[in-house]
Structure 1
Amino acid sequence: MLKKTKPIISLILSLFSLTPTIAPTLAAPPRTPDKEETCEILVIGGGLSGAASAYESLLVGRTVCITEITDWVGGQISSQGTSALDERGTQRSLLFYPRGYLELRERIEEKYGRLNPGTCWVSVSCFMPYDGHGILFQMLEDAAKKGGGTLKWFPNTIIKELDISNNQINRAIAIQHQPVSNTPPINTEPLSQIIEDAYRYQNSARFDKTIIQFVPQPSPEKTGGADWYVVEATETGEIIALADVPYRLGIDPQTYVNPSSPVDTRDPYCTQGFTYTFAMEATETPQIHVEPPFYSQYAPYYSYELSRLANFNLVFSYRQIWSMQPDIPQPPDYRKRTIYPGDISMQNWTWGNDYRPGNRDDNLIYSRGQLQATGQLQPGGWMGGLRAETLRRGEENALGYFHWLVEGTTDSQLGAGVKEKHPNNRFLSGFDAPMGTAHGLSKYPYMREGRRIIGRRGKTHPEGFTVAEVDIAKKNFRDDFYLQNLAPDTLHYLWGAVSAFVPPDAQINSMAEMPQRARATIFPDSVGIGHYAIDFHPCMTKSPAEAPGNSERAGIRRGQGSAYPFQIPLRAMIPQQIDNLLVAGKTIATSYIAAAAYRVHSFEWSAGAAAGTTIDFALERGIFPDELIDDMPSKEWELEVLQGRLQENGNPTAFPETSIFNNTWDEWK
């Protein structure tokens, strides 16, 4: 049954101070750990990739510790509020997904009696975020029972320090926070107000802290390889920054493998926008809406964006997560959909609650230089690597967007006469509301991009492995833009990179005559699959992001468009320098253009399942994951055994008819 949401008329605006937060400072000296926890696999980050890693590991009897900064598992489908599964039609029609993701879909349908209780139109499954957590956590508990594994769950927990020597993480120090007695519960304040406190060792007026030391579980039978493994499954690549392994952040420069990039030099400050989602409920009567004191600052940003989208019912039903009348057919024209009192919408809109900073003075995810400048790479200095002030602005921007939806009459992109008031809606907040917070915003922002590792150097990738635009983009790389803007040598290498297989007797006189393949790169070390469009929510040009007249950074959307069904190579998950760390989720080794596709729900699950299975295989064999790919492109027989295990377990590593001889996948959309 659906929980009854708590009606909240006010937006609890007093929670949001207009005073800028102070830049992070070094924390107090470390405390002696209060307790020690042992595990075979430490999963840092409880999002979908982290949950999938744990799921596969528990099914084979491993002891798994999961730390998560919020108190919900599931990331996108729960604590980030984006509980609308992003899927592509052909993959969905074949149900060609990892087994755990299929089970998740089945349990959603079992919970509600239908897969799409919200009858949203952007997805075939939109549901309540709090149910995303409940369903997924039950899946993990059931996997532990079925496989004989041990699940150790640490909510409200962050990693503060890593002990690294001999190219391995030997222990991790974490801080778990809980409210001081007689103070408000967790999730009363938004993230910006508690994040710096959460990363400090000392107790505060708000939180009591438990210091936890994670160490390997003793294994007398171990003969080689690592004692344990750590999975980086955070939303921003927090652990790869703390471990200080090579990584990229922001926009990559234009090269023949990323030819659509608009810049010549790397820009670490421009990442995709992040979003604080919220839920709103349609009401029978008009509601009283108090204008937030900061509304005028953000109002110049809000817009329906495009004329074809300029319709409130369309925006409401876009990610509608609860329908009071799910059995009544709705018209195919989204503008004409009926919204019933009691219907609930989750909002995630580009020119709405997306917040899109892109300059060194307001970027959310600190670059390595900024981490050094704030002391966060010093022992005990780690504070999460995020700018709290930008989080606060993102929170205010989201609250302002709700007010614009119900009371606004301006539109920054479409001009006057477009936006009308829609007062018959209320903002849902409270611990029993869809987002599970007193303030009504998601517990953590929906992150589309984080730090991305650079994979290990190899014979074919001397600078380090990375999945690039040319590996996945469904694009004509011989159109006028590339002909007019790329140097002849760059064009030559580009056409070589995207050329199709041709028979030895084919009459080809130059690279310009080589046919372009119509499929993604086939990776011999593939351990998972994904399919989604290259989809950008670009950073803004000026600072702050909400500045009047601001515009998206020029040229970023040039790389946007369709992508072929793609693979997840193991080389993209193994960072340099540390042998017992695997990366799952959106922080694997991709360029910023490829990352715009390697970020949605089923991909995250596939990457996490691959990480969990690879770790079990490495522990069983007494080897390091790098040993599975270090001789490529030479044949790696143990890698083939791992790939066989993944596929036998229902975790595909390739799409049907994947072959270098199959140059076209025109039927895939």
Structure 2
Amino acid sequence: MPAFPTPGALPETTADLVVIGGGLGGVAAALTAARLGQRVILTEADPWLGGQLTVQGVPPDESRWVDSHRTSASYTEFRERVREHYRRVFPLTDTAAEDPQLNPGAGFVSRLCHEPRVGALVLEEMLSPLLSSGQITWLREHEPIAVERTGDRVTAVVVRDIVDGAECRLRAPLFADATELGDLLELGGVEHVIGAEARSEHGELHAPDVANPLDQQSITWCCALGWEPGHDQLVPRPELYEKFATEVADFWPGPQLSFDDVHPITLEPRTRPIFDGDPADHGRLEGVPDMWHYRRVRAQRQMLPGTPGDDIALVNWPQIDYWGAPLLGVDTVQRARAEDEARQLTLSFVHWLQHEAPRSDGGNGYPELRLRGDVLGTGDGLARQPYIRESRRIRAQFTVTEAHIGREMRGTHAGSQIFEDSVGIGHYRIDLHPSTAGRTYVDIDCFPFQIPLGALVPRDVANLVPANKNIGTTHISNGAYRLHPVEWAIGEAVGALAQVGRERGVDPAEVHGSRSLTAEVQDVLRDRLGAVLEWPDEIRRLEDRA
């Protein structure tokens, strides 16, 4: 057991629920709990809310049924508020404005590709009345620095104001770790896992033979690019440019500064140019094979004629996946070096695009491309933080494995495991990007799945729960449970769990251990919050060919 700080004379604030981390899970937990009548303290190290959606610059990765089979009333509310923001504020064409499933960027990674800054605006708008009433206290730019424990109970979390260094002790009956890397698990000595488990631990078909804590998915430092002929803001050649222009990983067809990569499912080499045809023609339909349209978040063709500006795309492409070193299980110096190299990889790729990339219309270099940091709230054009695919994960009362959701392990038409304690649903392929251990993609078909309450309950701490990618999954199953709507559903479940625990005076483990109390959480989610906890059987058994 680590030595925990001795309480001192710090300013203290109390609430019914303390949520550390303002990503989608943290926002959903705070929003849900506050709407149910609880007082919530929400902290976030960044000035923006939204985590992977905004701070990390990744448009929502969602299931194909996101518009037809809505899984959460509040997540649907967020999505519709984004669309309404564009209808209300942007000079859209009549066709775009009247489309009930408006996709502002007309990108095809999602049915709702939008600018990260718009997502941050909408999330803050959703919290606004609760901030005004005092139901939610939002501590912007605060990071956790200590967790105080007595036995199996967390008594407080100490946070520090990043701007002025002031510290504050936060107290509550229940704490939620919604940080991107599961910071409270480390600070509080909560039993957890990092990296890859051995196949022998859970019997997963695609797990490695030997456990490796440093086998972690690559991170990506995303950026935004605009098409702006005539600009003069070219990216200088980064210090590590030559490294990324020449080094070749064993599993990759060549250097990362190219249009070559591998198909994540077949692992066959492929070439995907940034533009398919005339680079100045961005008016084509969704579904084209080039990279530009994949995560485009502003489509000029959706604007009225004469509207200033042009297309903007977010770059979260395989060429900027950084697999050189892990972020977890290393010291702060090593982590800082990894983050710096990830940034340099992205800047090197943009420099290559502007100066050396083979053009689809002949010649080399696309000087028309410009970094658009304003879309991400930064001065350097890169996202505010790297895109984190893998976190510390709690040792949970129940661990979701590949055997519960993977099509190959379960059989062609078996469908996913049905969990009687389901508190939400989601769907995404088991999608693991190349790792820091030299492993290539692991991309596995899986069935639409449920989120079991047991995966949100730690084994060894009574009043702290995960509210992000840090739930009880494995290295393998995390690849499906790490996306935007699933993270939101996890946070929403935490808010409902906090409400039942508050009303009944019990901890999460007691709720999970009681069929009737678990049913109360499910009733809150279904009846009061409009959440969906199970897929129709005809969807649950479907194969995903995405």
User: TM-score normalised to the size of structure 2?
Assistant: 0.84
Give 1:150's aligned amino acid. Q
| Residues 633-653 of structure 1: CA deviation (Å, up to 9, x unaligned) | xxx122112212211121111
SS of residue matched to 1:604: helix
Structure 2 contact 445–544 (Cα < 8 Å) conserved: no
1:284 matches 2:229: yes
In 2: Cα distance, 1:425 partner to 1:298 partner: 20
Partner of 2:91: none
Given candidates 401, 407, 429, the residue that maps to 1:468 is 401
Structure 1 contact 230–581 (Cα < 8 Å) conserved: yes
In 1: Cα distance, 2:455 partner to 2:191 partner: 13
In 1: Cα distance, 2:63 partner to 2:300 partner: 27
1:525 matches 2:466: no
1:66 Cα deviation from its structure 2 partner: 0.9
Give 1:654's aligned amino acid. E
Partner of 1:212: 168
In 2: Cα distance, 1:286 partner to 1:165 partner: 59
Structure 1 contact 51–74 (Cα < 8 Å) conserved: yes
1:40-59 alignment runs, 5 A limit: 40-59=16-35
Partner of 1:325: 301
Give 2:342's aligned amino acid. G
In 2: Cα distance, 1:585 partner to 1:231 partner: 9
The structure-2 alpha-carbon separation of the partners of 1:517 and 1:120, relative to structure 1 and needing over 3 Å to count, comes to closer
Give 1:284's aligned amino acid. P
For structure 1, the 5+ residue unaligned runs are 1-28, 179-207, 217-227, 330-339, 375-382, 412-416, 457-464, 478-497, 499-514, 542-551
1:80 Cα deviation from its structure 2 partner: 0.8
Structure 1 contact 31–211 (Cα < 8 Å) conserved: no
Give 2:166's aligned amino acid. T
Aligned-residue CA RMSD (Å): 2.8
The structure-2 alpha-carbon separation of the partners of 1:607 and 1:288, relative to structure 1 and needing over 3 Å to count, comes to closer
The structure-2 alpha-carbon separation of the partners of 1:663 and 1:402, relative to structure 1 and needing over 3 Å to count, comes to closer
Given candidates 398, 411, 435, the residue that maps to 1:539 is 435
Partner of 1:86: 61
Partner of 1:436: 377
1:595 Cα deviation from its structure 2 partner: 0.3
In 2: Cα distance, 1:260 partner to 1:468 partner: 10
Give 2:275's aligned amino acid. F
In 2: Cα distance, 1:602 partner to 1:668 partner: 19
Given candidates 506, 511, 525, the residue that maps to 1:628 is 511
Partner of 1:454: 395
| Residues 619-643 of structure 1: CA deviation (Å, up to 9, x unaligned) | 1111111112336xxxx12211221
Structure 1 contact 534–596 (Cα < 8 Å) conserved: yes
| Residues 540-561 of structure 1: CA deviation (Å, up to 9, x unaligned) | 55xxxxxxxxxx525x52xx22
1:405 Cα deviation from its structure 2 partner: 1.8
Given candidates 139, 144, 159, the residue that maps to 2:144 is 159
In 2: Cα distance, 1:288 partner to 1:41 partner: 46
1:640-659 alignment runs, 5 A limit: 640-648=519-527, 649-657=529-537
1:135 matches 2:122: yes
| Residues 37-73 of structure 1: CA deviation (Å, up to 9, x unaligned) | 1111110110000000001011012111111111111
Give 2:327's aligned amino acid. L
Partner of 2:343: 395
Structure 2 contact 500–517 (Cα < 8 Å) conserved: no
In 2: Cα distance, 1:247 partner to 1:418 partner: 52
The structure-2 alpha-carbon separation of the partners of 1:294 and 1:32, relative to structure 1 and needing over 3 Å to count, comes to same
In 2: Cα distance, 1:611 partner to 1:401 partner: 39
Given candidates 474, 496, 499, the residue that maps to 1:613 is 496
Give 1:342's aligned amino acid. D
The structure-2 alpha-carbon separation of the partners of 1:586 and 1:251, relative to structure 1 and needing over 3 Å to count, comes to same
The structure-2 alpha-carbon separation of the partners of 1:639 and 1:265, relative to structure 1 and needing over 3 Å to count, comes to same
SS of residue matched to 1:575: coil
Structure 1 contact 119–321 (Cα < 8 Å) conserved: yes
1:399 Cα deviation from its structure 2 partner: 1.1
1:573 Cα deviation from its structure 2 partner: 0.6
1:221-370 alignment runs, 5 A limit: 228-255=173-200, 257-261=202-206, 263-285=208-230, 287=232, 289=234, 290-300=236-246, 301-304=256-259, 305-306=261-262, 307=270, 309-313=272-276, 314-326=290-302, 342-351=310-319, 353-357=320-324, 362-366=325-329, 370=330
1:237 Cα deviation from its structure 2 partner: 1.2
* Equivalences, count: 494
User: TM-score normalised to the size of structure 1?
Assistant: 0.69
Given candidates 49, 63, 71, the residue that maps to 1:97 is 71
1:562 Cα deviation from its structure 2 partner: 1.9
In 1: Cα distance, 2:8 partner to 2:541 partner: 59
SS of residue matched to 1:298: helix
| Residues 140-162 of structure 1: CA deviation (Å, up to 9, x unaligned) | 123566xx661111111111111
1:287 Cα deviation from its structure 2 partner: 4.2
Given candidates 356, 362, 366, the residue that maps to 1:422 is 366
1:420 Cα deviation from its structure 2 partner: 4.0
1:69 matches 2:33: no
Structure 2 contact 191–459 (Cα < 8 Å) conserved: yes
Give 1:85's aligned amino acid. P
Structure 1 contact 32–211 (Cα < 8 Å) conserved: no
In 1: Cα distance, 2:147 partner to 2:436 partner: 35
In 1: Cα distance, 2:294 partner to 2:454 partner: 37
In 1: Cα distance, 2:327 partner to 2:313 partner: 27
In 2: Cα distance, 1:668 partner to 1:425 partner: 33
- Identity score, percent: 29
In 1: Cα distance, 2:512 partner to 2:297 partner: 43
1:428 Cα deviation from its structure 2 partner: 2.2
Structure 1 contact 517–663 (Cα < 8 Å) conserved: no
Structure 1 contact 406–424 (Cα < 8 Å) conserved: yes
Structure 1 contact 253–264 (Cα < 8 Å) conserved: yes
Structure 1 contact 519–663 (Cα < 8 Å) conserved: yes
The structure-2 alpha-carbon separation of the partners of 1:129 and 1:111, relative to structure 1 and needing over 3 Å to count, comes to same
Structure 1 contact 59–149 (Cα < 8 Å) conserved: no
Structure 2 contact 326–436 (Cα < 8 Å) conserved: no
The structure-2 alpha-carbon separation of the partners of 1:40 and 1:363, relative to structure 1 and needing over 3 Å to count, comes to same
Partner of 1:222: none
| Residues 230-254 of structure 1: CA deviation (Å, up to 9, x unaligned) | 0011111111121122211111211
Give 2:154's aligned amino acid. I
1:117 Cα deviation from its structure 2 partner: 1.7
Partner of 1:492: none
Partner of 2:162: 177
In 1: Cα distance, 2:368 partner to 2:103 partner: 24
Partner of 2:94: none
Structure 2 contact 45–162 (Cα < 8 Å) conserved: no
In 2: Cα distance, 1:144 partner to 1:103 partner: 18
In 1: Cα distance, 2:160 partner to 2:6 partner: 10
| Residues 179-221 of structure 1: CA deviation (Å, up to 9, x unaligned) | xxxxxxxxxxxxxxxxxxxxxxxxxxxxx311111123xxxxx
In 2: Cα distance, 1:68 partner to 1:386 partner: 24
Structure 1 contact 323–342 (Cα < 8 Å) conserved: yes
In 2: Cα distance, 1:668 partner to 1:345 partner: 25
